[in-house]
Amino acid sequence: MTTPLVEMDGDEMTRILWKMIKDELILPFVDLKSEYYDLGLEYRDKTSDQVTVDSANATKKYGVAVKCATITPNVQRMSEYNLHEMWKSPNGTIRAMLDGTVFRTPITIPSIHPAVKFWKKPITIARHAYGDVYRDVEIKANEPGVAKLVFEGENGQREEQIIHTFKGPGVIQGMHNTDASIRSFAHSCFKYALDLKQTIWFATKDTISKKYDGRFKAIFEEVFEEYKDAFEKAGIEYFYTLIDDAVARVMRSEGGFIWACKNYDGDVMSDMVSTAFGSLAMMTSVLVSPDGKYEYEAAHGTVTRHYYKYLKGEETSTNPMATIFAWSGAFRKRGELDNLPELVHYADELEAACFDTLNAGIVTKDLANLMEGVTPVVKNSADFLKAIRENLEKRLA
């Protein structure tokens, strides 16, 4: 390695897995160069969350980070960890600082069949994470009256429209988005499509919402001009359609593409797609900024329930796949950026060793019931990692 990887440690069961993964699958094989940030809740509290900000800045500087799942504190965590403040979600802080988009992809294996029988390859969902209904304002009208939409520009633009003349009670909702945020989203999407060499779909309802959704469509078209040639060279496409048409097509597709969604569509569709593919423990996630910085992680949380069992000395069979793939994704990206084919090779072989293990039926408990056509052999986390290590050693020998 030439450039350090930004390493963000985390909480609970995933923090335990983090160390196990490093000891079994990384340190014996890679001369790891990382800049370590402890995003465990205790240290976040101790530094008044400065460590989260520092880790995001390091990601801006070096370009590639790998993150362990972290606790987002709530009232109960305040007392459990004796916190000075209810710190914000680290993922939210990092995403805001990098202005990034999150892409979620399932890890698929032949013995776990997606609920949708046509799906043969993973579908990656990209959700626009700003605005629309998530930053709306709402009014409940309790009597007859007029609702108006008014814009007062700083330089004189003034527009006023009647939303509705109420004859009785009703509800009103106002929402917004910004060109800057939509543009960042578009850049992240096109960059990541080129990375994966996969076609990207985007859909809105611009036939009905001509100005609002129409603006999304127009900005995507405009930004795509910058990527058109690279897409042609990579043999991939940008495909725009209406959201209802997209949903119908996704169901009949084979998968193997990225589906970019507006905020609400992404919220709903990502839960549908990930559930249909099988297991939260097999879902990877990467944050991509519009200027090409990457933060890899698992989509699941810190698996608290397993951690409490672990603390009692009980054996746990927590699935480390998504966290391993966060590491392999980060190594591959680092290798590509720094022109280190050996590091890219290691990342490929690490993932292949995981598939060797799963395809032989060696799995953690969460997957056992999902498998068809293979008799599963359930292992605890430590033995599962040992089995992967054996396969990795064979591959790298």
Q: Which does 9 bind (CB under 5 to 8 A by kind): Mg ion, ligand NAP, none?
A: none
Q: Which does 70 bind (CB under 5 to 8 A by kind): ligand NAP, Mg ion, none?
A: ligand NAP
Residues 181-240 that bind Mg ion (CB under 5 A): none
CB of 344 to ligand NAP, least distance (A): 26
**Residue 267 binding Mg ion, by CB under 5 A:** yes
CB of 271 to Mg ion, least distance (A): 5
Burial of 100 (0-12, 13-18, 19+ CB in 10 A): buried
Bridging pattern class, strands 158-166 and 257-261: unpaired
Quick one: DSSP state of residue 232?
A: H
Q: Which does 243 bind (CB under 5 to 8 A by kind): ligand NAP, Mg ion, none?
A: none
Q: Residue 136 or 271: which CB sits closer to Mg ion?
A: 271
Distances 133 to 129, 177, 264 between C-alpha atoms, Å? 11, 10, 7
CB of 393 to ligand NAP, least distance (A): 24
Q: Which residue has the CB atom at the shortest distance from ligand NAP?
A: 301
Distance CA 209, CA 206 (A): 5
Q: Which does 271 bind (CB under 5 to 8 A by kind): ligand NAP, Mg ion, none?
A: Mg ion
Angle of CA points 4, 87, 12, to nearest 5°: 65
Quick one: DSSP state of residue 370?
A: T
Q: Which stretch binds Mg ion (CB under 5 A): 4-12, 17-25, 266-274, 289-297?
A: 266-274
CB of 274 to ligand NAP, least distance (A): 11
For residue 41, the cross-strand partners are none
CB of 44 to ligand NAP, least distance (A): 12
Q: Which residues bind ligand NAP (CB under 6 A)?
A: 69-72, 91, 280-281, 297, 300-305, 318-319, 366
Q: Residue 96 or 218: which CB sits closer to ligand NAP?
A: 96
Q: Residue 88 or 121: which CB sits closer to ligand NAP?
A: 88
For residue 170, the cross-strand partners are 141
Tokens standing for residue 103: 């892409």
Q: Residue 177 or 285: which CB sits closer to ligand NAP?
A: 285
Phi, psi of 36 (to 5 degrees): -90, 130
CB of 378 to ligand NAP, least distance (A): 12
Q: Which does 366 bind (CB under 5 to 8 A by kind): Mg ion, ligand NAP, none?
A: ligand NAP
CB of 218 to ligand NAP, least distance (A): 33
Distance CA 27, CA 122 (A): 30
For residue 106, the cross-strand partners are 283
Q: Which stretch binds Mg ion (CB under 5 A): 50-58, 221-229, 262-270, 380-388?
A: 262-270
**Which one, of 357, 356, 333, lies nearest residue 346 by Cα?**
333
Contact of 110 with 123, CB cutoff 8 Å: no
Q: Which amino acid is at 128?
A: H
Contact of 41 with 77, CB cutoff 8 Å: yes
**Residue 275 binding Mg ion, by CB under 5 A:** no
Residue 225: alpha-carbon gap to chain centroid? 26
Distance CA 28, CA 46 (A): 32
Q: Which stretch binds Mg ion (CB under 5 A): 92-100, 178-186, 261-269, 291-299?
A: 261-269
Q: Residue 56 or 69: which CB sits closer to ligand NAP?
A: 69
